[in-house]
Chain A
């Protein structure tokens, strides 16, 4: 069933300059440096992503861009305006979908949107019409008079996205929009975000899901400990920081450590780089099939062999390491 982007959602003529510009941006909470000298530009129409583990500084950067958190240092311009001086003006042109659904549980689905619209000075009649169109867009029309509390996680998320669109924003800010959703709900959200992108809405997304970043983002930055450690399109990042393919070898109950010691030295002949994990050995290589074949001839032979394309996950783990961050 095709779904139309709401009529009220007018396509805006993109302005030539960067919509978001940050230079040496810093955010400190007491002694803790959450964002540590970030430089970035987001162009009109772009789908831009922040990739990083929990606590990498993604949300803090998003909150600064959303003009609800003053930068500690550095320069930040949104629509060419200063968030400190022109907060309300900037915010009137942004749509924000925060990490935690901050929906109003005392209001119905429709009321949530209409009340929110009033904060933007949108007249009641227009607000109601837009709300109905947006609820159609996020497939919540049947729940229009329902309270928020009984909605499922996916429904709440879609409602939050609809709410972020009520002012027809020029930039849509999405902080981990699919965290905690089931696969169906995630795909529905992705579809809608893609449709918005087709309409020319600039979107800024944070995520720790690599597949999400790979699917949606034109360009992304990888953040770690408040710093940007890599930047580029998903494809370029994979090319730059990983190999084309990855082979995953498993050895039944035999610990990979033991295997590695037995075939000592020969692993690196099969690949450019390898990694020994508690449950498997990963071979990073341009030609996965050849490496798999070579590995199968070894003794002990692997109990299972999987050849797959390199993903952003490989890039990410390579860049930030496998240690838990929190």
Chain B
């Protein structure tokens, strides 16, 4: 009886926009069962961990301790780890949202068929964002586990930081989708990679932003990753502040804007 009711409810949900967004995401889940893909996922877990070991402990061994803005001293590994988490939360959704989406839309022309169904361009964009977000969540979860194992965060801190990681994924997933609609060939990803990498280097990842020269601070302040790192670092180093609400709001706005503009551009491309 209960299951029957539930089934009808779910059935009705399936033909709503939410159901269709889920259906778009489900296609990616179905396609992700190849061996190579699983392998790639495992590597995706490992990569940020390797960065953490190399930068946090290798380079950190030379650096020693870092003095934070509030005067507290932490080990360099503790300082870099939250930034690495933010970068890892960014990378998965951003590159899935840009490269992955570009290859589906322009190269394999997957959505030409999708939009012949009740699915709208917005639902395509939202479904793809959901998928990249899911991937980002997995990477973040894995990274958090490693942080706990290495004693760089407690379980409570990790639980608090996970939603922040999702938010970073949302912002960069949306941004990735939007940028993918501007890209014309694979070569353009070279530029995209370069931009993202520069952002990764200069978003307060390896040095507190206060160390940057004045004008550079403003540029850094504009990058979404900086706000992401502010969130993860604040939550993991227990340095909470009200400005973190603004950081979170900034990420939400970037994500929503990316999603909305991307879906408009997708509609222009697919529904000529």
A and B touch in the complex (CB under 8 A): yes
- The size bracket of the interface on A is 20 to 34
Say yes or no for B4: interface residue by CB 8 A criterion. no
Q: Are B31 and A107 in contact (CB under 8 A)?
A: yes
Q: Does B243 contact A (CB under 8 A)?
A: no
B23 smallest CB distance to A (angstroms): 4
Q: What 1/0 flags go to B251-272 for Cβ under 8 Å of A? A: 0000000000000000000111
Most chain A CB atoms below 10 A, which of B110, B120, B272: B272
B31 near A120: Cβ-Cβ < 8 Å = no
A301 within 8 A of B: no
0 or 1 for each of A149-163: is its CB under 8 Å from B? (1 = yes): 000000000000001
- Does any Cβ of B come within 8 Å of A56's Cβ? no
A66 to B271, CA, bound (A): 10
CB within 8 Å: A-B pair count: 81
- Would B15 and A120 count as touching, CB distance under 8 A? yes
Pick the residue among B23, B27, B31, B272 that contacts A29 (CB under 8 A). Answer: B272
A106-B271 in contact given A66-B116, A89-B118, A119-B24 (Cβ < 8 Å): no
> Is A262 interfacial (CB 8 A cutoff)?
no
Q: How far does the alpha carbon of A88 sit from the alpha carbon of B119 in the complex, in Å?
A: 7
Q: How far is the CA of A106 from the CA of B112 in the complex (A)?
A: 16
A63 and B11 CA atoms in complex are apart in Å by 29
- CB contacts (< 8 Å) of A98 on chain B: these are 112-113, 116
Q: In the assembly, what is the distance between CA of A19 and CA of B148, in Å?
A: 63
Contact with A along B84-100 (1 / 0, CB 8 A): 00000000000000000
User: Who on chain A is nearest to B113 by CB?
Assistant: A102
Q: Does B14 sit within 8 A of A, measured CB to CB?
A: yes
Proximity bits, A97-117, B CB within 8 Å = 1, else 0: 010101111110001001110
Residues of A within 8 A of B114 (CB): 119
Distance between Cα atoms of A115 and B33 in the complex (Å) = 14
Residues from chain B with a CB closer than 8 A to the CB of A92 are: 15, 117-118
A6 within 8 A of B: no
Q: Which of B1-56 contact A (CB under 8 A)?
A: 7, 10-11, 14-16, 19-20, 23-24, 26-27, 30-31, 34
Residues 111-137 of chain B: 1 if any A CB is under 8 Å from the residue's CB, otherwise 0?
011111111100000000000000000
At the interface, yes or no: A94 with Cβ under 8 Å from chain B? yes
| Interface presence of A87 (CB below 8 A) | yes
Judge whether B108 is part of the interface by a CB distance below 8 angstroms. Answer: yes
Residues of A within 8 A of B119 (CB): 88, 119
B232 to chain A, nearest CB (A): 33
- Contacts A104-B27, A104-B31; A116 near B117 (Cβ below 8 A): yes
Q: Which residue of B lies closest to A70 (CB)?
A: B271
Say yes or no: is A10 at the interface (Cβ < 8 Å to chain B): no
CB distance from B111 to the nearest CB of A (A): 9
From residue A114, how far is it (CB to closest CB) to chain B in Å?
8
In the complex, B109 has a CB within 8 A of chain A? yes
Compute how far the CA of A217 lies from the CA of B31 in the bound complex, rounded to whole angstroms.
Answer: 38
Closest to A101 in B: B113
Among B16, B115, B116, B120, residue most surrounded by chain A Cβ atoms (within 10 Å): B116
Q: In the assembled complex, how far is the CB of residue A27 from the closest CB belonging to chain B, in whole angstroms?
A: 9
- With both beta carbons as reference points, the residue of chain B lying nearest to A94 in the complex is identified as B116
Across-interface contacts of A249 in B (CB, < 8 A): none
Instruction: Give the distance in Å from the alpha carbon of A92 to the alpha carbon of B120 in the complex.
Output: 11
List of A residues within 8 angstroms of B30 by Cβ:
107, 111, 114-115
A118 in contact (CB, < 8 A): yes
Give the residue among B26, B117, B119, B272 with the most A Cβ atoms within 10 A. B117
Q: How close is B210's CB to chain A, nearest CB, in angstroms?
A: 47
Q: Known contacts A68-B271, A119-B23, A122-B14: does B110 contact A104 (CB below 8 Å)?
A: yes
Roughly how many angstroms separate A87 CA and B115 CA in the complex, as a whole number? Answer: 10
Interchain CA distance A6-B188 in the complex, whole Å: 47
- Report the nearest A residue to B114, measured CB to CB: A119
Q: Are A118 and B115 in contact (CB under 8 A)?
A: no
User: Is A121 part of the contact surface with B, judged by Cβ < 8 Å?
Assistant: yes
Query: A116 to B113, Cβ gap below 8 A?
Result: yes
In chain A, what residue has the closest Cβ to B112?
Answer: A102
User: Given A98-B113, A105-B108, A116-B113, are A121 and B26 neighbors across the interface (CB < 8 Å)?
Assistant: no
Any chain B CB within 8 A of the CB of A268? Answer: no
Residues of A within 8 A of B271 (CB): 68-70
Q: Are B118 and A119 in contact (CB under 8 A)?
A: yes
Q: Report how far A100 CA is from B24 CA in the complex, Å.
A: 21
Residue of A nearest to B16 (CB): A121
B19 surroundings in chain A (CB, below 8 A): 121
Q: Separation in Å of the A149 CB from the closest CB of chain B? A: 11
Flag if B26 contacts A87 (CB, 8 Å).
no
Query: Beyond A69-B271, A102-B109, A121-B20: 17 further Cβ-contacts under 8 Å?
Result: A29-B272, A68-B270, A88-B120, A92-B118, A96-B116, A102-B110, A104-B113, A105-B108, A115-B23, A115-B26, A115-B30, A116-B113, A118-B26, A119-B118, A121-B16, A121-B118, A123-B11
Chain A to chain B: the 3 pairs with minimum beta-carbon distance, closest first: A121-B15, A121-B14, A119-B117
25 contacts between A and B (CB under 8 A): A66-B116, A68-B115, A68-B271, A69-B271, A70-B271, A88-B118, A88-B119, A91-B118, A96-B116, A98-B113, A100-B109, A104-B31, A106-B31, A111-B30, A118-B23, A119-B20, A119-B117, A119-B119, A120-B117, A121-B19, A121-B20, A121-B118, A122-B14, A123-B11, A163-B113
